[in-house]
A and B are shown apart, each in its own frame.
Chain A
Amino acid sequence: MTTVAKPLYRKRVGYQAALLGGFATLAAALLIVGNDSTHEAIAERQAEDLLASLAQVIPDKLHDNDLLANAIRVDGSDGRPLTIYRAMKDQHITGFAWRTAAQGYAGAIDLLLGIDASGQLLGVRVLAHAETPGLGDKIEVEKSTWITGFNGRSLRNTPDTEWHVKKDGGRFDQFSGATITPRGVVKAVHEGLVFFRAHRDELAVMNEADS
């Protein structure tokens, strides 16, 4: 602060309160304006991101609808609401996609599952994770082809007992130095398929909005 003598009124509590209040009001006003002018653009960008991820697990040739518009909400296996994106072609449901979470070595791994109408996996992708770089991050499709090993798997061609990593007597590879990560992903994908088997009829119901 400068050494020039300040007017006395600045020492009063009222001035301090008004100053702080004034800045708080100004900050709030600025944030309202900022939020107002960006929230539409942000929502658009997020929808684009979601569509881009969905396109990786539901091939374009499987649907002619807007995946975001034909989503339904159901109760997930953990009781929390789950948004299921449904692919349709010629008024028939051809596939489903939803987000799920696996328990990894360093917290939750966000996954996106894509399943066709017969219950066969179209693809699995990792949306976000905090696994160890160089070890657990081989679950990313950019780093390794491991995650594409789920393509075409279903509960029919891979029995429940084989949904484990090889170390645990299952069908899926683990990574050298990182077993917990693939184990968690395999478990989450399997749970997703089991959930789909239990709720398939409920998910395939067409709404009026779908036609």
Chain B
Amino acid sequence: MKWLSDDKLNRLRMIVSEPDFSSTKYTFQKELGRGGMGTVYLCEDRELNRLVAVKVLNTPDITDDLRGRMIREAQIIAGLEHPGIVPVHDVGTLSDGRIFYAMKFVRGLRLDEYAAQGASLRDRLRKFQAVCDAVAFAHAHGVIHRDLKPQNIMIGSFGEVLVLDWGVAKTQSSFQQSISTNPRQSVANQTEDGTVIGTRDYMSPEQARGEIDRIDQRADVFSLGAVLRFLLADKATKPAKAICLKAMGEAPESRYTSATELSADIGRLLDAEPVLAYRENAVERVSRWVGKNRFLVLLVLAYLLMRIFLIFTSRT
């Protein structure tokens, strides 16, 4: 038996881990990203002659548990028809037993990459509002994302905002019934109490403690607050900081009650109106008013200066 060098070994491992798309209409192109449950590949849809992203379960499942979770994830996304949520085109099983689903391939940047390219604060906040709107739509349909972070948000090449990776989403019973009549999949939906799901820096305290039963849409509001904190970086004004702090309140009751409410406060911030999260003093109120009505203030100032000038010149 011949010795296998590290290079050969890596090549063989790649061969084994690469999914076998021969029984599908997809042609493998390259790996896009790897997660705990599945890997996303860039593929060509030979029938429609377009690129798609295909998520494939990492190993052939022999208990149907992971298989059920993948199908459930595809059903959740497919059930959320919104411009801010990447659409699913197809679901199936590869000849090696691995479940897959194909979705729109989003060309663009992740939110963290977008922010790193020096987008203005105003642009960042507009994108953040679009994220809130997509998440609010999911909440309205009984779906809680549970892993919102800049790496799971894409800014498409037309500036569109897409929320990705719904693999650990929690569904409320009414939505679950609408996406599945298979009792096995309902079981797969449940996460045991004590299980910690999400990403540490963006996770609500109740999520970090594994209090699954206490997780509702306000856990996503917390994560949105963490995303906002990331986007603001060191450019935060007092009202913006206050919005962050309110969204990231320790207790769910102290946060915004919904992503819509958070989005509305961001809208007020953008329009230089008073925000719910911050009680401003008289000086700040005047300063904000002046900032919002800068043109009018300049006009009045110019008029007053002109009057003073005229009075002065008429006397001399």
A and B co-occur in one complex:
no
A interface residue numbers (CB < 8 A to B): none
B interface residue numbers (CB < 8 A to A): none
